[in-house]
Structure formats: C-alpha cells, structure tokens
Structure 1
Amino acid sequence: MAEHNDENLWETAQTWRALAIAAAVITPIACLFFLPWILQADGDDAMLRRVQMAGAAAAIGATLVTFCTVVWRGLISTQQARLQRLQIDKLSDQIAATERNNLASLLQKGAELIAEHEKPAKVAAGIASLRAVGEGADDKFAIQAMDILADYLVGREEEIFGNQTLAIAAINALALIWQQTGRLSNRVLNLSYEGLVEHFHLVVGVKEVAYREGDFFGVELVAPEVKGKTFVRFEQCTLEESAVDLRLGRFEQVAFRDCVVAGFNARGRRQHVHFHDCDFSKCEVQNAEVFPDLRQYGCYYLDKWPPIGAPEGFDWSAKLHVGKPATVDEEL
C-alpha cells in the first residue's frame, strides 16, 4: 500500500513538473506572437495599451510557471522526507534488533559466568553483565537477568549475612536495577540463618523475601521506597537496634529489642510479636484505641514526641513509659 502511494506521488510530481516546463516554454512563445500585434498599433497610446496587455499575459504565464514549480518541488520534498523517514525507521529496527541480540548474548554470558562458583572473578563479571542486561531496554531479558541474580542468592545465607563480597554484589545489582527501572524479579527468596547478623542487607527487586530464625541488627524498614514493591516477611527471629515500620511487612513470632518503631497498626495481623525496650517516639499508630500496654516490657516514648494518630485526649502514658526507663526487669 505504501509503495502504491509512493508511485502515485511520484506520478503527480512528474505531472506538475511537465506543466511547469510547458508553461515556461509557452509563455515566451506567446509573447513573441504579441510582438507584431504591438508594432502594428496606431499611435503611441494604442501601443502602450497593447504592451500593458502583453505584459499582463506574460506575468500570468510567469506566475503559472512559478506555481507549478513550487508544487512540483513541494511534492519532491515530501517524498524525499518520507523516504528519509523510512530509512531512519529501518535503521532503528536494525539497531533495535542488534541491541536485542547483544542483550541475549550478554544474558547468556552472564548466566555462564555467574555459574562458575569456584572462580570469584568470573562470578563478579557475571553479576556485572546481568546488571547491564537488567538495566537494558528489553523487559523480557531484564526480568530473566534479575531472576538469575535472585537464583544465585538461594542457599547462600552464610555469604549474605556474612557480608561476603559476591553475595552483596548480587543484592546491590538487584537493588540498582529496581531503582533504575522499577522492574521486579519473579522470585521468592526464603533466607534462614541461625545466628547473629551484624550486617543486615535488605533484598529488594524480588517479588518476596522472607527472613527467618536469625538475630538481625540494624534493620531499616521505615519507608515504602526502601523496599519498593518487594513484600518483606520476618518470621521466628529477633530484630535488635533497628528502625522498623511494621505496616511495611509481615511479622510472625518476632521479638523487637531496642528498636525504633516508626509505624504500627494496633489491629494489624501479627502473631506473637513482642516489643522490649522499644522507642515509639513519633510512631504513626493506627487504631490507637486498641494499642497494647507495653510498659511492662520497657517500651517508651520521649516526652516531647508522643506517638501520632491517637484520638484527642488519649493518654499514651497508660500504654508506654514517658522517657526511657532506667532498668527493666521484665523479660520476654
């Protein structure tokens, strides 16, 4: 269809070109025919009138030539612009195809390199390659790259919580891809670790991540943008010296010790969640009317910064200590 339209356009342009040439030839010839008629005029006044008439006819002819030429050149320019656009479109398609091929090759190479567990340098190169694919323009290849990075973390709790370089590099790659593109791996990670975790790294860029059985220090889960769309779960573990908004994840059989609680839904679904020596200053509380009495566990808020969200007249001192208690004898 496009080729048929192009042919019609070329034919129309050639028609206008022929008209321009014809007008350019006919106009001077017609003027020559006027010459004897002008010379045969009776008197100067008659000759002047005939000259004016001949000039007007010549002007009309010149205008016709100009008009036909302008139309012809316009059609030619339009067709040239269309051809250039088609060439650019074809070139863009070729570039896109080349990029897809390059991404496919890079994805395959990255998967091969990251699988060579005994060679750290190759694993690092594989992680870098997969990150490049993840940040690329092709969503399909990008998600596959993120899935491979997430799969690399499976069964590597010792490396993750031991703060080892390659595991952290894979976690950072997933986070950077998510930050740059908003993409999310399809994987669900279950990370179990029986021991003390002093260097906690929140895995983002995956569909879901669960942490189990460890004593986690320094967890920061206080804003939605921290975890993105990754659903976070903590189960059968302890969080210490952390800052947590409990509305941003799911917590089951979790003990919070010396934590800053940034958000809490008193009616939220939770099973066997305990607080010990936690700071609720400026905590955003939902359903404060059913907030539990946590004074026996040493939980408190600073005098100038009570929790937020309680109805007017609500007495927080009946639920929490005002100021941090000096000692707490009650144990969980």
Structure 2
Amino acid sequence: MELGTMSMKPNLKTDEKTWQGCLGFVAMLFAIVVGVGSIILSFGFGLSWARVNKDHVAILKDYLLIAAGLTTFATIIWRGMMTDQQVRIQREQVDTQINQLERQREQVDQQREQVELLRRQIDSSNAARYIDLLAEGTKLLEAEGAHQKIAGVAILREVICGLDYEVLRNPAMTLIASEWKENYKSAADLPYLKLIKDALSEGIKLGARSNISAVFEAPNDNFEWVLVEGFASQSYSGGIITNENRPHISTIMQEPKISFRNVKIYNGKIDTKEATFSDCYFIKCRFKEIRIDDINENYFCDCDFSGCNFIFYERFTDTSFISAKFKNCYFIYENIPSLIVLTSDETEFTSMDWSSFLSARESFDDFMNVD
C-alpha cells in the first residue's frame, strides 16, 4: 500500500457491531412507538386500564414479536451478505496468491534461463580456452627446443586431464602419441617423452585414446623397450622387455591389438589371450594359460608353468616338438598344470606326462622375481 492511501477492504467485525446496534435501536424504537401508539389509541376510545390490560397487552405482545421477527430476519439477511462478502474476499486472496505463485514461477523460469545461458557462455569460453591450449601445445610440440616440447606436452596434458571440455581429449592424445611414434627410439634420453608416456597413461584412465596405429622396430637386438599405452594398435619387433619396464608388459597386454615379434621378454606375467606373440623368447616368465599356437611360434626358458592351462585342439601322443620349445621350464609340485583339449564337440580336461618337457620343483625359486 502506498503512503496516503486508505484501505478500501471492509472491516467485518466493525460492520457487524454497527449493524447489530442499528437493528437493536430500530427494534427498540419500533416497540416504543407501537406501545405508546397502542396506549394512546386505547385511551382515546375511552377504554379502561383493565380493558387495556386484557385486550391490548396481547396486541402489544404481538407487535413486539413482529418487531423481533423482523429483526431476526434482517440479521439473517445481513449474515448472508457478510458470508458472501467474506467468501468473495477469500476468493480474491486466493487469486492473489495464485498470481503471486505464477509470478514466482516466471521468475524461477527466468533465473533458470539465465543460469543455462551462463552455462553455455562458460562452456563456450572453456571450449575456446581448450582449443587455444590445443593449438598452443601443438605449436610448442613441433618446435625444435627441448624446453618448448616439454611446455607443449604440459599444455596438451592439461587438455587431456581437464574435466571441462572432454571432446578434445582424443585429439590431444593423438598429437602426443604421434610425437612418441616419431621419437620412440630416444625414449630413454629425452625427458619430454617420459612426460608423453605419463600423459597417455592418464588419458587412458580417463577413457581417452589416440587413433594412432604404431609399428615399433628395435634399432638393435639389445634395445630395451619403453612400453606405452594409448595407441589404437601397436606392434613391437625385436629388442628386449624386462621387469623394469613401466608400465609392465602385464599392463601393456591389455591394450587393443597389440603384438610382439622376435622380442626377448624377461620376468613377465604373460596372458597370451590378450596379445599376439611370434618368434619371441620368454625368459623367467610366468604363464597361467598358453595355447598350442603360442608354443609352436615361441620359445621358453626357465619359465614357470605352475597351475597353467595348456590348451590344445587335439591330443598329442608325441610331444617332442614341445620339448624343443622348452628349456629348463618347470612347475611347482603342489600346483600341477592342466591339459584342456578343445574339439568341435566338447572340451576335455585330461592329464598329461609333463615330465617330457617340464620338471617338477619342490618350491618357488628365489631368483624368480616377477611383478
């Protein structure tokens, strides 16, 4: 309500008291008039007091009853009017509340639209920021200086690990994976390549992956591989993989479409289901499962086959070809390998004379230090 403006809403309690007072006054006035008029009328015609008492008191009583009835009737009419007015006021209040709620809903909708607009502006700002970072990182990565390359990898790592704009993760992964592919032979000498390897591993944990397919060839037989994750596919040829590689070969084998050819692998936990091996030398490795194809195409020296499942596609009576592939390999006596023969009809678990190419040992050798 503005200052100086009086409320026009009726005060029901005040109106009720005023109405009742007026009715009482009118009824009393009506009774007095009727009573006095009756007395005057009676004496005017020469009636005695006794006659008045008998005949006119009843008339006066009737007039009073009529006055009371009129008052009651008027009160009922007034209460109906007040009830109707009260209902109308309550309806107006409800309508006012509904209008207020509608205005509040409109305000909430407007606030929601403003928040959504702000979010889109932030997303657009973040997108522009990460696109700029991607461009800047690419530029620095293509520079000749080591410091620029380190800065470029750090910027691209920010793009990969940033949670605000995930759509640029894979392109950033592809950029640094391509740089690794071009310079992998110097991985042990160039510090920024170690940063690339760590960034690729972090990207894999976040569900990102490059689209680079890489073929890595060792420059010499003694070249020690630095294994890396994050490629669409990768193949290693020649060289050595040792227990010191991080990530270890047991981790790198979980990469999609990974293969090894003519690689010497030391002290590894090998799962031949995940990777492809050909003409490889396994030295002091552990196997939990190996297929006949893996035996035919690779060589094994001082390897542990305790509890290993040998999977063949037919039963062999002559295992001399297996013996030629195994040298000083063994199993722990308490954990004998199993032979599984897969045929078109069934899978058969059977026994085998392991002594033809494996030796049984009482305990695990101390020199077998495998992650």
Asked if these proteins are the same fold (TM beyond 0.5), I'd say yes
Pairs aligned (count): 295
Give the root-mean-square deviation of aligned CA atoms: 3.4
For 1:174, the equivalent position in structure 2 comes to 200
Equivalent in 109, 112, 115 of residue 142 of structure 2: 115
Q: CA deviation at 1:32?
A: 10
| 2:143 counterpart of 1:143 | no
For 2:114, the equivalent position in structure 1 comes to 87
Secondary structure of 1:239's partner? Answer: strand
- Runs (4 or more) in structure 1 with deviation over 6 Å come to 29-38
Counterpart contact for 1:185–1:206, Cα < 8 Å: yes
Q: CA deviation at 1:257?
A: 1.7
| Structure 2 letter corresponding to 1:302 | I
Secondary structure of 2:182's partner? Answer: coil
Equivalent in 250, 270, 279 of residue 222 of structure 1: 250
Q: CA deviation at 1:309?
A: 6.4
| Structure 2 letter corresponding to 1:321 | S
Q: CA deviation at 1:240?
A: 2.0
1:272-326 deviation per Cα after TM superposition (whole angstroms, max 9, x unaligned): 3111221112334444866863485222111122335645441362452212899
Matched residues in 2 for 1:84 and 1:289: separation?
Answer: 72
Q: CA deviation at 1:236?
A: 2.0
| 2:124 counterpart of 1:97 | yes
For 1:14, the equivalent position in structure 2 comes to none
| Structure 1 letter corresponding to 2:137 | G
1:1-49 deviation per Cα after TM superposition (whole angstroms, max 9, x unaligned): xxxxxxxxxxxxxxxxxxxxxxx96x73999999998745754644543
Distance verdict in 2 for CA 1:279–1:120, change over 3 Å: same
Distance verdict in 2 for CA 1:153–1:107, change over 3 Å: same
Equivalent in 290, 294, 315 of residue 352 of structure 2: 315
Q: CA deviation at 1:252?
A: 1.8
For 1:240, the equivalent position in structure 2 comes to 266
Counterpart contact for 1:204–1:227, Cα < 8 Å: no
Secondary structure of 1:230's partner? Answer: coil
Matched residues in 1 for 2:299 and 2:286: separation?
Answer: 13
Counterpart contact for 2:339–2:350, Cα < 8 Å: no
Distance verdict in 2 for CA 1:133–1:71, change over 3 Å: same
Counterpart contact for 1:267–1:290, Cα < 8 Å: no
Q: CA deviation at 1:166?
A: 1.8
| Structure 2 letter corresponding to 1:213 | G
Distance verdict in 2 for CA 1:49–1:90, change over 3 Å: same
Matched residues in 2 for 1:125 and 1:206: separation?
Answer: 22
Equivalent in 317, 321, 330 of residue 300 of structure 1: 330
1:41-83 deviation per Cα after TM superposition (whole angstroms, max 9, x unaligned): 7546445434532331232022111210121012111111111
1:182-241 deviation per Cα after TM superposition (whole angstroms, max 9, x unaligned): 11100012221114245x432111101111111222263336xx5554321111221122
| Structure 1 letter corresponding to 2:136 | K
Distance verdict in 2 for CA 1:267–1:190, change over 3 Å: closer
Matched residues in 1 for 2:189 and 2:270: separation?
Answer: 21
Matched residues in 2 for 1:305 and 1:243: separation?
Answer: 17
Identity of aligned residues (%): 18
For 1:28, the equivalent position in structure 2 comes to 10
Counterpart contact for 1:34–1:54, Cα < 8 Å: no
Q: TM-score, normalised by structure 1?
A: 0.76
Equivalent in 76, 81, 92 of residue 49 of structure 1: 76
Counterpart contact for 2:338–2:351, Cα < 8 Å: no
Q: TM-score, normalised by structure 2?
A: 0.69
Matched residues in 1 for 2:270 and 2:189: separation?
Answer: 21
Flag structure 2 segments of 5+ consecutive residues without an equivalent.
Answer: 1-6, 28-66, 341-347, 366-371
Q: Which deviates more, 100-109 or 42-51?
A: 42-51
Distance verdict in 2 for CA 1:301–1:316, change over 3 Å: farther
Equivalent in 297, 301, 316 of residue 276 of structure 1: 301
Flag structure 1 segments of 5+ consecutive residues without an equivalent.
Answer: 1-23, 327-332
Secondary structure of 1:166's partner? Answer: helix
